[in-house]
Structure 1
């Protein structure tokens, strides 16, 4: 019998790619999503159950129906700027919603939990390659909410033997090279799709938020991971738990940072098109430089971020953005 995995946020960008990877690995991904930012058209690899994380009764129904072996939790609000202007929205949805989900999983006897966290829990630590032992000092409500969920999982793991794997990562990029699912947000906030929309004439220009950072070209620096490499790690994390290896935290990154202007330069090489640019002020809560290593994931999980080079990520995203978008 095929084992079911509840994928919260499975109608979103990363979640839909995770569902495809789970299906390829022999699981039945069950998408649980309220479609506030996700797309029903992206649910292609298993059943869809519409529901909200704050609705405990609905969660209980879904757990009882599918009897999942694990939860893979992606559902969260994730815009740093918005988290600074509306922190209540982030604490309510991300933290209280996750607490409700964890309690439902424990009540249903679901033993494994794979959590999509963020390297934003580390805060602004410049000129270092972050690892899992780096101190966590989030500087925005988004990072703080994710750190709180990590604490919830640790506490529930100690009390109820809920085994968990936590993945911390920065910027996810690229799309499924087969074109079955892709990246599309409304509103769009991610650098690469914004840049590609500007190239395609779907927006007037790409705004660079902040050009006076203490970096070689004045723009902030981030580590980018291909979405398909990322979700492969999540499947490996699930198997890690099923093999009885216990709770663990893994960073996912390349250890190499690229500035906003670096990304723009790479896009020109990939698309042969110029990027119209305007310069804007810094956004509150943005860090200067965030780069993460993945030595533990590579050594212990056997993870191989083979697609996580900037040219491949931009190429796969460019192909998706020219061919398909979801519709509500």
Structure 2
């Protein structure tokens, strides 16, 4: 297919672009490079632009006849969304509307949307199915929920087919060392712990040690970025073969505690960095894991990297190479 990938120079988008290229798709990446990098676009053409610029968006659609759009471009930091909600409703929700208007004008057939488990909010269940009611508790989750609804409503009124993928905790890096998470001031647990290993941070904090879990810390479902990228390529194949619009969780269906993750990072790296144990953060659920039966049954998706040591090992290897690259560039 001829595919537009918004945010394709970022962490997840760049891994998807590489897999799309290997699958033979013709790719155009549209990215403002606010958190992405030119070097991360390993396949296709990069067009530097912002989804807020409706003229630029329409221009890239007019220059190419896209069969599909994969939409990653978004802000994703939950605390920032609370302190600066309008940024999230502008960049995430309004810009999705701008993109959908271009999709409508140019009659693009397929869309894969990068969503999040944050749309579920603070559920009582610990393993979440796609059918449960959505109740986001922060502007980030709300901005994604609104985007989902716009896509669904437009699809109901048109011929657009979509797959909405709700990510759980994405981590790890390309095993060949070509790509990884290079986001500045990242907040993801495994990325933060790896930065402690390489001396980029003096230490880290664990928020809450009194949850009713194995060791008192929160439980999360961590999915390797390459397995997540694979789901996007399979979602395109699914729609091209007549699959109907769908919403699918992306996770392994099992979780690890924050402390277990830190222990694996320390064991694999051999570095014992400082960890401060402090109180709970508002809005942190005790445990969140994906009911992933639907993505397995719908796409035939099977993970290749469902192992915490593998996830952490690839993240550590990437962090070493990323640090060396920045030091050499100075």
Query: Into which bin does the TM-score normalised by the smaller protein fall?
Result: over 0.9
Q: Calculate the aligned-residue CA RMSD, in Å.
A: 1.6
* 1:189-204 aligned within 5 A: 189-204=187-202
For residues 285 and 77 of structure 1, the distance between their equivalents in structure 2, rounded to whole angstroms, comes to: 18
The whole-number CA distance in structure 2 between the counterparts of 1:205 and 1:30 is: 39
- The CA deviation string for residues 183-235 of structure 1, in whole angstroms up to 9 with x for no partner, is 11111211111101111211100222333334332322211000000010011
Match of 1:178 in 2: 176
Unaligned runs of 5+ in 1: none
Q: Deviations over 1:109-166 (max 9, x none)?
A: 1110000111111111244311111221111111111111110011100112211000
Question: Structure 2: any 5+ residue segments left out of the alignment?
Answer: none
Deviation at 1:75, TM superposition (A): 0.7
| 1:110 alignment partner, one of 108, 111, 127 | 108
Residue number in structure 2 paired with 1:279: 277
Match for residue 117 of structure 2 among 114, 119, 126: 119
Measured against aligned partners, the alpha-carbon deviations of 1:165-189 in whole angstroms (never above 9, x if no partner) come to: 0001211011001111111111121
Query: TM-score of the superposition, structure 1-length normalised?
Result: 0.95
Work out the CA distance in 2 between the residues paired with 1:42 and 1:58. Answer: 22
SS at 2:128's partner residue?
Answer: coil
Between 1:274-283 and 1:16-25, the stretch displaced more is 274-283
Question: Residue by residue, what CA displacement relative to the aligned partner does 1:240-289 show, whole Å, maximum 9, x if unpaired?
Answer: 11112120111111111111101011112322222321234433433222
Greater shift in the superposed pair: 89-98 or 179-188: 179-188
Secondary structure of the structure 1 residue equivalent to 2:95: helix
Where 1:7 maps in the other structure, the secondary structure is strand
Q: Work out whether residues 122 and 283 of structure 2, in 8 Å CA contact, stay in contact via their aligned partners in 1.
A: no
CA contact (8 A) 1:124 1:289 kept: no
The 5 A counterparts of 1:253-292 are 253-292=251-290
The equivalent of 2:95 in structure 1 is 97
2:269 & 2:303 partners in 1: Cα distance? 23
1:70 matched residue in structure 2 = 68
Alignment of 1:282-321 (within 5 A): 282-321=280-319
Deviates more, 1:201-210 or 1:245-254: 201-210
1:5 and 1:71 in contact (8 A); partners too: yes
User: 1:215 aligns to what?
Assistant: 213
CA apart distance, 1:28: 2.0
Query: For the residues of structure 2 that align with 1:184 and 1:279, how far apart are their CA atoms?
Result: 26
* Separation of aligned partners in 1, 2:315 and 2:170: 11
Q: Secondary structure at the match of 1:32?
A: strand
Q: In structure 1, which of residues 81, 84, 89 is the aligned counterpart of residue 79 of structure 2? A: 81
Work out the CA distance in 2 between the residues paired with 1:45 and 1:88.
33
Q: How many residues align?
A: 326
The aligned counterpart of 1:146 is 144
TM-score, normalising length: structure 2: 0.95
